[in-house]
Structure 1
Amino acid sequence: MPCPDLYRRVMATDLLVRPLSPADLPSVLDIERQGYSYPWSEAVFLDCFKDSYRLWAVCHGEFLAGYAVVAYMVDEAHLLNICTHPQVRGKGIGRQLLRHLLSAASREGMSKLLLEVRASNEAAIGLYEVEGFREIGRRPGYYPAASGREDARVMALGLGR
């Protein structure tokens, strides 16, 4: 488990983005459970270790600060999950990870990146909008919520092949 003092010192420039490995799953699951009311299970993550997926870890030294899971389908990338440790949110780590996966998808010939985001997740929506994403639709009742279901905003960004 990472040291809380380390998280106070993390800066986006001190980070390395690398492929996520199954050995990272204990840290990923810890972050996932802290970040989401309805977290993915270990089985869901394990199912993503396939050729058509890209899984990324963002690290500060040996400590995992966040991760992302992207599915590649023909010429489109679909961001399925991105999360940073609660103690490092607001430090640019999610933005760096997002930019990395966008760059990787573009290099691999993807024409656009799609994602769903909870309609209530203003911080994430703000990040995506600043990075150039635009809403292209909604999915009613897409996410489970304490009071039933919550809509998702579907957002997309062209990767300018």
Structure 2
Amino acid sequence: MSVMDIEQVMQYLPHRYPFLLIDKVIELELGKTITAIKNVTINEPFFPGHFPVSPVMPGVLILEAMAQAAAILSFKTKNYTPEDIGIVYFAGIDGARFKKPVKPGDQLVLKVDIVREMRGIWKYTARAEVDGALVAEAELMATLRDKP
């Protein structure tokens, strides 16, 4: 059962196809943690070029999916939507590691925890798993910015 379905996710992320990388949220504890899902299909627009013979989800998009989950967590924690305040911008990535390739048919489980929020800068730890196995991890930083 989802905590947030795709319609609710779209209320908290300004991203749209082909860059919306969260399908649903299955766990959310305000101020602490989020678990979100990205269903990876062969129809993803990046697979024809990455790589045609052996399709693999680009690592940078796995990081982006983790960042989108972090953005939802921040917005929900502050009780804001992008319409209220603006956008959560990626500010930094540390310690990114990729352990296993993500392929069509995989379900990417994104787990993000807030480490701290200070003066509008958020720090998170993030993990991506497929079938319970770690595929990527990183420390992320982001900031909430006013609407352009």
TM-score, structure 1 as length reference: 0.30
TM-score, structure 2 as length reference: 0.32
Q: Which structure features the higher share of helix residues?
A: 1
Relative CO higher for 1 or 2, CA cutoff 8 Å, sep ≥ 6? 2
Q: Rg: which structure is higher?
A: 1
